A and B are shown apart, each in its own frame.
Chain A
Amino acid sequence: MERPVTLNINGRNHTVQVEPRALLVHVLRDTLNLTGTHVGCDTSQCGACTVLVDGQAVKSCTALAVQAEGTRITTIEGLARGDTLHPLQMAFWEKHGLQCGFCTPGMILTAMDFLAQNPDPTDEEIRHAIEGNLCRCTGYQNIVAAIKSAAATLRAGNAGAAA
């Protein structure tokens, strides 16, 4: 019943045996031990399981692992470069954009996709962009501030790279 599938995760190929019905999130967590991706619901509301698939934020509880073959997957474990945090990670830390941290990986990856499309968002646009990711601790206020701050850092970085 199981079949092999090769997944490219955070730049590395992993070939694993999975049941065709296995969800991507379960393969990430249970088979590959990438437990930074979380499961907070069973109806695709909470967004705690969000990862990037070819740069797009995807709730990994809504995708089968076999569907992800041939894509490039980014999880929270793949964001920092050594000890250098991604600007979004840094901004969540600096702006107190997390408390219990359970929703944070999904929130950060959703924000990453969003900022790639909208590098200079308003608060309202940020709030709209993360409405598929639920947080029960922060009341969202500092998450919005963190994403806004990261956007500025990323813009400055891109401007620097272009110059």
Chain B
Amino acid sequence: MATLFGSGIKRREDPRLITGQATYVDDVKLPRLAYAVFARSPYAHAKIARIDVSAARQAPGVLAVYTGADVKDRLVPVPCAWNVPNCDLKIPAHPLLAHDRVRYAGDAVAMVIAETRAQARDAVDLVDVDYEPLRATADPEKATQPGAARLHEEIPDNIGFTWVVSGGDAEAAFQGAEVAVSQRIVQQRLLPTAMEPRAAVAQYNRGSGQLTLWATSQNPHIHRFLCSVMLKLPEHRIRVIAPEVGGGFGSKIPAYPDEALVSFAAMELGIPVKWTEDRSENYKVTIHGRDHIEYVEMCGTRDGTITGIRTKVYAGLGAYASTAAPGIPTILHGLVYSGSYMIPNIHGTIYGVYTNGTPVDAYRGAGRPEAAYLIERLVDIFARKIGMDPIEVRRKNFIPKDQFPYTVATGLIYDSGNYEAALDKALGLLDLKAFRAEQARARKEGRYLGMGLVSYIEICGLGPSQVAGAVGFGGGLYDSAIVRVYPTGVVKVYIGASPHGQGEETTFAQIVAHEFGYPVENVEIIHGDTDNTPQGWGTYGSRTTAVCGSAVKVAALRVKEKAKLLAAHLLEANEADLEWKDDAFRVKGSPDKAKGMAELALMANVAWNMPPGMEPGLEATAFFDPTNFVYPFGTHICTVEVDEQTGQVKILRYIAVDDCGPPINPMIVDGQIHGGVIQGIGEGLQEIAVYDEEAQLVTGTMMDYAVPKASQMPHIEVAHTITPSPVNPLGVKGCGEAGTIASAACLVNAVCDALAPLGITHIDKPLTPARVWAAIQKAKGATP
């Protein structure tokens, strides 16, 4: 039988998705369903002088209208769940509905419930609010300066935290350095843009006191807990269901006011209530990503040894501290400043800044792409300064493969790595020599070709829980699985994680079927419902397979252990004389004396003939808490041609070599890489959330925000190296964020290489034609 682990079988999720049979939240319909629409502030910053909802209450079909005054004493403000220690973190109250002041354009001031969606939408226009506009800013650096608009009275300088990461002695390293380079880098705000907007359906049964909330969630157990806090409802009376979820990219991790308010309305009115964002609303109120203004420096020797990195970062938080926001630019960013390199001296100061923008939280990669970007940009700038090939600088500073586990200056212990292997493989795919020759020829013709290369690492597989606690994360980071074998031998697996497109219904079934000697069809994976899955911490941080997949494997092995004891009993053999071969426990030397899992399942479930002391049934639960993070890595290469006349960047080739350990389903792994790379290329090339001087979001629709289209994106050449991780029983690492972490930096490195003859060392992403053209004009001394 072909091995299932490592096989690129078709996804088991797909038949329902390609036939229109899947149920996303907005597809959920219930008897007497009512609809919610929110009235939202058009101002980025204003005092609310008066709200009059009387006309809205009179509108056709309207069942209720709630304002901030109605809910402020009954509901708890939206909690922030990552209390990063030792950084003087200030978390201002985030009311579910603003009652005295709005702090960003989109802040909700009232909720209208009506019989139909259209009626609710019509009535929202009748909510009459007198705003007294205040000064506003969405710029995280300007917001810290004297005289800037103040968002929260108790935070005079808008600085929500000042977090310092330090290892070695960066000051001494820079003082004595032969060479130092510095750069101001803007890592623009991005709009996550899961194709499915957020939605919620809440149903409350007054008889049983049970609330059921269908929500677009990456982590229903976390949402159950946070809703319990906001609604002051005991956790066991809340059931959160994440049915089909149409992508998340981080934006469906946080707790938002909306889901709690819809639940509140359902409880108040005794009827189910649905709310679905439209895209403009999604762009205004669902979290944004990145938003860093960085001052970064690197120092080293003339022969290419990097000796230090120093940063000062203004990280925009937006108007309120979203669920995981404080941890993103700190723990998930500053701790990774070493990248793939031995950098003995590191110092970073990160300011988390409140601004009049939409709250910022985890977006694909979350903190790590920002780190990889600044490191990999600095390596290129440093290499240019000392006149050395940036590839050789990387090679020279790589942590050697025989040094793992390796402790970097910031204290992280990298579990495994072989960075040079990935680099060599990528270079082999490119044919570097041929490219450099072509580039030289092109330059003679006045054409600008460039090559960018990035050797990234990622910290993922989030756990362990003890570390989560130490860094102030308000939850655990283990995950869980129940493997339940039915009397007929088929298996259901209930998992704590909550995939939403990543394909774990397939890969996790492969893990179990592989262990049991089953066809994959015999195993079903159940997720996304807090009433039938064990406590889990969700799907994000490229953790689902490394952590929850490991729980699945451990639980499957426990089942197998019990099955083996039962097999020994039934075969009247000594357990030590049994071996698992092909698809059954067999007596060594007499392979015909055998018991397969299906037969053992039946015998365990009917319990007619159990060994003395053994309980009936065949199932096991596992909670897997890893001993460390995992550290995937890889090298990506991008080649481009830049049109000097128009500033247009054309991607010629994109090569991705990633090491995420042994792939369970290579087809799915490659799909994750494709999607990640394109998301990062979008960031590098065209995506930017723009605020104007009044902190109005200018890119508030899909007409204005440049989500990558098929015609704009390149074909990606994907390859892998395989270095198993020692921290989990599958040896796997993450692959969901890897592509995004590498590709933005890779693209910008390529464009800067192309424009090197003009003396251009850096252009801030996204590299739109206008920006590239302006940089070219500036380099040529022209006034653009």
Which positions in A face B, CB cutoff 8 Å? 19, 21-22, 26, 29-30, 33-43, 45-46, 48, 75-77, 79-80, 85, 89, 92-94, 96, 98-105, 108, 123-124, 126-128, 130-131, 133-144
B134 within 8 A of A: no
User: Beyond A41-B279, A138-B674: 11 further Cβ-contacts under 8 Å?
Assistant: A29-B27, A30-B117, A38-B196, A39-B276, A41-B701, A43-B280, A93-B15, A123-B715, A131-B709, A138-B671, A141-B715
- Cβ contacts under 8 Å, B19 to chain A: 36, 76-77, 79-80, 85, 89
B280–A35 touching, CB < 8 Å: no
A45-B702, A134-B195, A134-B702 known; A99+B20 contact, CB < 8 A: no
**B59 to nearest A CB, angstroms?**
15
Q: Point out the residues of chain A lying under 8 angstroms from B24, CB to CB.
A: 35, 38, 102
B302 at the A interface (CB under 8 A): no
Assess whether B48 is interfacial by the CB under 8 Å rule: no
Q: Please, which residues of chain A bring their CB within 8 A of the CB of B674?
A: 138-142
Surface stretch bound by A, among B201-209, B258-266, B498-506: B498-506
Give CA–CA (A89, B19) in the complex, Å.
Answer: 7
Complex Cα distance A119/B13, Å?
A: 28
Instruction: Tell yes or no: B487 within 8 A of A by CB.
Output: no
Interface set, chain B 100-144, CB cutoff 8 A to A: 117-118
The minimal Cβ–Cβ distance linking B650 to chain A, given in whole angstroms, is 13
Indicate if B21 sits at the interface (CB-CB under 8 A): yes
Which chain B positions have C-beta within 8 A of A35?
20, 23-24, 26-27
Complex: chain B residue closest to A147, CB-CB: B710
Contact A101:B703 (CB < 8 A) given known A42-B278, A143-B710? no
Q: Which of A77, A96, A128, A136 contacts B707 (CB 8 A)?
A: A136
Chain A CB within 10 Å, residue with most, of B10, B195, B675: B195
**Partner of B21 from A36, A42, A45, A75 at Cβ < 8 Å:** A36
Closest chain A CB from B750 CB (angstroms): 18
Alpha-carbon distance between A120 and B23 when the two chains are bound, in angstroms: 34
Looking at B26, B249, B675, B678, the one whose CB has the most chain A CB atoms below 10 A away is: B675
Q: Does B416 contact A (CB under 8 A)?
A: no
Residues in B with CB closer than 8 Å to A93 are: 10-11, 14-15, 18
Find out whether the CB atom of A134 lies under 8 angstroms from the CB atom of B709. Answer: yes
Query: With an 8 A cutoff between CB atoms, is B696 at the interface?
Result: no
The CA of A22 and the CA of B276, in the complex, are separated in Å by 17
Complex contacts, B709 vs chain A, CB 8 Å: 131, 134
Q: How many A-B residue pairs have CB under 8 A?
A: 178
**B716 to chain A: which residues have CB within 8 Å?**
139, 141
User: Is B668's beta carbon under 8 Å from chain A?
Assistant: yes
A99 and B675: CB pair below 8 A?
A: yes
A69 to chain B, nearest CB (A): 20
Docked complex Cα distance between A131 and B702 (Å) = 13
Name B's A-contacting residues (CB within 8 A): 10-11, 13-15, 17-24, 26-27, 29, 117-118, 193-197, 244-247, 249, 276, 278-280, 500-503, 667-668, 670-671, 674-679, 701-703, 707-713, 715-716, 739
Closest B residue to A77 using CB positions: B20
Shortest B653–chain A CB gap in Å is 14
The complex places the Cα of A103 from the Cα of B15 at a distance, in Å, of: 15
Most buried by B among A40, A92, A94, A128: A40
- Least Cβ distance of A101 to chain B in Å? 3
Establish whether residues B715 and A134, one from each chain, have CB atoms under 8 Å apart when the complex forms: no
Interface pair A43/B703, CB less than 8 Å apart: yes
Q: Are B675 and A138 in contact (CB under 8 A)?
A: yes
A131/B701 contact (C-beta < 8 A), A42-B278, A76-B20, A92-B18 known:
no
Known contacts A85-B18, A89-B18, A136-B194; A101/B501 CB under 8 A: yes
**Looking at the complex, which one of B13, B21, B196, B503 makes contact with A40 (CB distance below 8 Å)?**
B196
Residues in B neighbouring A133, C-beta threshold 8 A: 710
Q: Which residues of B contact A131 (CB under 8 A)?
A: 709-712
Find chain A residues with CB under 8 A from B118 CB: 19, 21-22
Between-chain CB contacts (< 8 Å), 18 pairs: A33-B29, A35-B24, A77-B19, A93-B11, A99-B247, A100-B195, A101-B244, A102-B195, A102-B196, A104-B17, A130-B710, A135-B195, A136-B247, A138-B674, A139-B674, A139-B675, A141-B715, A142-B671
Contact A96 B244 (CB under 8 A): no
B677 A102 Cβ-Cβ under 8 A: no
Asked if residues B18 and A40 are in contact (CB atoms below 8 Å), the reply is no
A36 to B244, CA, bound (A): 12
B195 near A48 with CB under 8 A, answer: yes
What 9 pairs between A and B have smallest CB-CB spacing? A36-B20, A101-B17, A100-B501, A102-B246, A139-B678, A45-B702, A139-B674, A76-B20, A35-B27
Q: How far is the CB of A28 from chain B (nearest CB, A)?
A: 10
A44 CB to closest chain B CB, in angstroms? 9
Question: Quick one: closest B residue to A100, CB to CB?
Answer: B501
CA distance A35 to B677 in the complex (A): 31
With A and B bound together, what is the CA distance between A129 and B678 in angstroms?
18
Contacts of A21 in B (CB 8 A): 118
Cβ–Cβ contact A42 & B707, under 8 A: no
Residues of A within 8 A of B246 (CB): 38, 40, 100-102
| Residue of A whose beta carbon sits closest to that of B17 | A101
Instruction: Give the residue name and chain of the B residue nearest to A146 (CB).
Output: B18
Q: How far is the CB of B412 from chain A (nearest CB, A)?
A: 29
Residues of B within 8 A of A100 (CB): 194-196, 244-247, 500-501
CB distance from A76 to the nearest CB of B (A): 4
Closest A residue by C-beta to B707: A134
Contact among B18, B245, B503 with A108 in the assembled complex (CB-CB below 8 Å): B18
CA distance A135 to B707 in the complex (A): 9
Q: Which residue of B lies closest to A37 (CB)?
A: B20
- The answer to whether B671 touches A96 (Cβ under 8 A) is yes
In whole angstroms, what is the CA distance A158 to B19 when docked?
Answer: 23
Question: Is the pair B18, A101 in contact by a Cβ cutoff of 8 Å?
Answer: yes
Contact A43 B702 (CB under 8 A): yes
Q: Are A136 and B280 in contact (CB under 8 A)?
A: no
Which residues of chain B are near A139, meaning CB under 8 Å?
674-679, 713, 716, 739
B675: A residues at CB distance < 8 A: 99, 136-139
> Which residues of the other chain, A, contact B678 by a CB distance below 8 angstroms?
139-141
Chain B residues, CB < 8 A from A99? 247, 501-503, 671, 675
Q: How far is the CB of A147 from chain B (nearest CB, A)?
A: 10
Contacts of B668 in A (CB 8 A): 96
Give Cα A138 to B502, complex, Å. Answer: 10
Q: Judging by beta carbons under 8 Å apart, are B710 and A144 in contact? A: yes
Docked pose: A87 CA to B703 CA in angstroms: 32
CA distance in complex: A20, B196 (Å): 27
A98 and B195 contacting across the interface, CB-CB below 8 Å = no
> Once the chains bind, are B195 and A140 in contact (CB under 8 Å)?
no
Cα A136 to Cα B190 with chains together (Å): 13
Q: Which residues of B contact A96 (CB under 8 A)?
A: 10-11, 667-668, 670-671
Q: Which chain A residues lie closer than 8 Å to B710 at the CB level? A: 126-128, 130-131, 133, 135, 140, 143-144
Which residues on the B side are within 8 Å of A136 (C-beta)? 193-195, 247, 249, 675, 679, 707
CB distance from A73 to the nearest CB of B (A): 13
CB distance from A127 to the nearest CB of B (A): 4
Q: Which residues of A have CB within 8 Å of B503?
A: 99
